[in-house]
Structure 1
Amino acid sequence: MYTLGQAAKEAGCSKATISRAIKNGKLSASRLEDNSYQINPAELQRWVDSNGHRNSKMKQIATQDETAETPRETSGLQVELEALRQIADDRQKTIDDLRQRLDAESEERRKLTAMVTDQRQPPKGFWARLTGR
């Protein structure tokens, strides 16, 4: 059985939070003659599991030592990440090359269109200009 302080430490929250949970009926506890509480570990665990999103202990981010990944797994992931970055770089180079080709072909098409649609009369010779024909 836990005291209020022990339960708070185990749950990773304050004594006031545990006391409030008891008063609100969310956590069962026995009251002793000296007005202290006695909390069953199983009951505390039930409360922690049902209120984990509010529990500061549950909010802690796992450190590298606490994760299940080994250095070998991590290095494998790093190799895979590097391979994916290389693929992304290659795709970007391909996209840039295709854009450059498209721009060059568009410019060439504009020039050819201008040449085909330019149907001005050739300049008139001296006699045609003189006579107005």
Structure 2
Amino acid sequence: MKYTAGQAAKAVGVSKATITRALQNGKISGSKDDNGAWSIDPAELHRVFPPVAHATPETQILKQSATPEKVNETAVLERENQMLHEALIEARQERDRWHQIAERLSIAPPAPAPIPQMPAGGFWSRLFKKERGT
């Protein structure tokens, strides 16, 4: 007895859209009748999707809510989320380090600039001192 797309979905605990997508992508083979309904051999279906009877209730819920493509996408997104979280932690640590440096610099009094000492007397007196050698 061959399955329709709806029967196949119930037999393996996934949505009808998942079965249809698998048929269109060539993951499982099936044929359409004159009315456009899919006809899927059970052996072909269970080659890719395990039957529901062998699956645990947790697996059945997972299969109903997520296709293999979505599970892979979820894993990729979780990894990306973890990487972004780590980058955020590093950025916050760097920010805190620069904040501490800025606080230390603002607390330390600036070194006084040396005041240039002007020689005593005016221009002409300095000039005559040089000529006299004093």
- Normalised-by-shorter TM-score class: 0.3 to 0.5
Tell which has more relative contact order, 1 or 2 (C-alpha 8 A, sep 6+).
2
TM-score by length of structure 2 reads 0.38
